[in-house]
Chain A
Amino acid sequence: MVCNQCQEIISDYIDGSLELGEQVRVERHLADCEPCRAVRDDLLQIIHFSQKLPLQSPSGAVWARIQSSIEAERPAGLRFRFKVWIARLRDRHFDMSIPQLAAGALALAILVSVSLLALRRGDPPSADMADGQAGLSTNLLSSTDLQQMEQRINELKETVDQNKVAWTPELRVTFDRSLLYVDQSLIECRRELGNNPADPISQELMLNAYREKMRVLEEFARF
């Protein structure tokens, strides 16, 4: 056997798939041929290390994209979309996600605006709602709940303000934009509740906006 013949079947030899006679011929050749032994040893190393290659991890954004795509195929609510948005924040891939992050908060603002607009068109305010004060003493939105949320928001704001100095410009832009959209929603809700304090839909929208604001701040407080 010559070297070319040996090297042509050396993978089969390594994998143990040669006929016995051929295997013996290869072994005899290897015993006398250092270059072919070197090929065999190199291939054995390659195979050995290939079997032990560690698993790799994709970026965290992949799960957010998967989640978003799967949910897009299902009936999706605002709450889920916000969870996706938060998941992206958690993954810290702001180079990819800034427009999407802003879009999430914008979606909230739009939803609140559209809902309130529809509300205004549908139900004229009643006389007992015209005092200009947001009526927050209903079942949905008690003043105690509101105070607790505002207190929590203030605490989180302090943490965020402390952390903010170390943020990248992209992160700051994302945060400011996101908070702006949520605050716009809150302003809309307050205005609507000023006209119609007992309206349960406005109250629910306001409650959701408060919760979302807390979540935004909680997420950014981690950075």
Chain B
Amino acid sequence: MATNAISIKSDAGLSAALAGDSMSGFEELYRKHYRRVYSICLRMTGNVAEAEDLTQEVFIQLSRKIDSFRGEAAFTTWLHRLTVNQVLMHFRKRSVKSELTTDDGEMPDSIDPDTINPEAMPIIDRIALENAIAQLPPGYRTVFVLHDVEGYEHEEIAKILSCSSGTSKSQLHKARLKLRRLLKQRAEAA
């Protein structure tokens, strides 16, 4: 993932946090990154309480593991990976069934040319989109958030989720179609 890459030298708070056990240095690090970490957690789980707990856990893990950060990767990339791993571990712990490995019977939404509304989709508002993402099945949501929101490539997602990049592509496609249907349903209900 090339986005959001920053060097260790430019990361305010990181040097201080690495230099010792200063809480003020770590707080600076938190202030700089907490919104991104929380946003990833929130969009992957679709649940505020879980996202807050996971954000907490990510930063606790960060405080334990920050000594092991050697600067081979950009810190933000490293922190992203730590966050994603934490969310995935959480999914495994609570036994969320992932559509990545099971056939959930959820077929991609196909469009029947006879019933399609030819009008273009109404403009998406942010809240509607956030809600629709939260309604996605966890497996779809994970791939969608990683690819379309966070900018990961399919190969990276495949590594993170221990699946093939073909599976990642397929899940993404299903997720997008599902989102489209959810947004349309909402627009029609309004």
Q: Name A residues whose Cβ lies closer than 8 Å to a Cβ of B.
A: 3-4, 7-8, 10-12, 17, 33-36, 38-39, 41-43, 45-47, 49-51, 53-59, 61-63, 65-67, 69-71, 73-74, 80
Interface size (B, Cβ < 8 Å)? Answer: 49
CB<8 Å pairs between A and B, sample of 12: A34-B118, A35-B118, A36-B111, A39-B180, A41-B121, A42-B121, A55-B38, A56-B38, A58-B52, A66-B30, A66-B56, A71-B23
16 A-B pairs besides A7-B110, A38-B119, A70-B23 with CB distance below 8 A are A3-B113, A33-B113, A34-B116, A34-B118, A36-B113, A39-B111, A43-B176, A45-B124, A47-B148, A51-B149, A55-B38, A58-B38, A58-B55, A63-B34, A66-B59, A67-B27
- B184 surroundings in chain A (CB, below 8 A): 42
**B39 surroundings in chain A (CB, below 8 A):** 53, 55-56
Interface secondary structure of A, over-half rule: helix
Whether A51 lies near B118 (C-beta < 8 A) is no
* Residues from 105 to 161 in B contacting A, C-beta threshold 8 Å: 108, 110-111, 113, 116-121, 123-124, 126, 129-130, 133, 144, 148-149, 151
How many angstroms from the CA of A36 to the CA of B113 in the assembled complex?
8
- Alpha-carbon distance A200/B151, docked complex (angstroms): 61
Report yes or no: B60 in contact with A69, Cβ–Cβ below 8 A: yes
In the complex, residue of chain B having the shortest beta-carbon distance to the beta carbon of A36 = B111
Chain B hits for A80, CB < 8 A: 23
Q: How far is the CA of A8 from the CA of B107 in the complex (A)?
A: 11
**Closest Cβ of chain B: how far from A15's Cβ, in Å?**
8
Residues of B close to A45: CB separation below 8 A = 121, 123-124
Q: Is the CB of A42 within 8 A of B120?
A: yes
> Hey, which chain B residues are within 8 Å of A4, CB to CB?
110
The residues of B that contact A51 with a CB separation of less than 8 Å are: 148-149, 151
A53 touches B126 (CB 8 A): yes
Nearest B residue to A55 by beta-carbon distance?
Answer: B35
Question: What separation, in Å, do the CA atoms of A45 and B123 have in the docked complex?
Answer: 8
Chain A contacts for B43, CB-based, 8 A: 53
- Chain B window 56-84, contacts with chain A (Cβ cutoff 8 Å), 1 for yes, 0 for no: 10011001100000000000000000000
Q: Give, as a whole number of angstroms, the nearest-CB distance from A11 to chain B.
A: 4
Task: From A35, A49, A61, A66, give the contact of B113 (CB < 8 A).
Answer: A35
Cβ contacts under 8 Å, B173 to chain A: 8, 10-12
| CA of A3 to CA of B56, assembled, Å | 47
- Whether B130 pairs with A53 at a CB distance below 8 angstroms is yes
B87 at the interface (CB under 8 A from A): no
A69, B62: Cα distance in complex, Å? 12
User: Which one of B118, B144, B179 lies within 8 Å of A38 (CB-CB)?
Assistant: B118
Q: How far is the CB of A103 from chain B (nearest CB, A)?
A: 19
Shortest CB–CB separation between residue B57 and chain A, in angstroms?
9
Beyond A7-B111, A62-B52, A66-B60, whether A49 also contacts B116 by CB under 8 A is: no
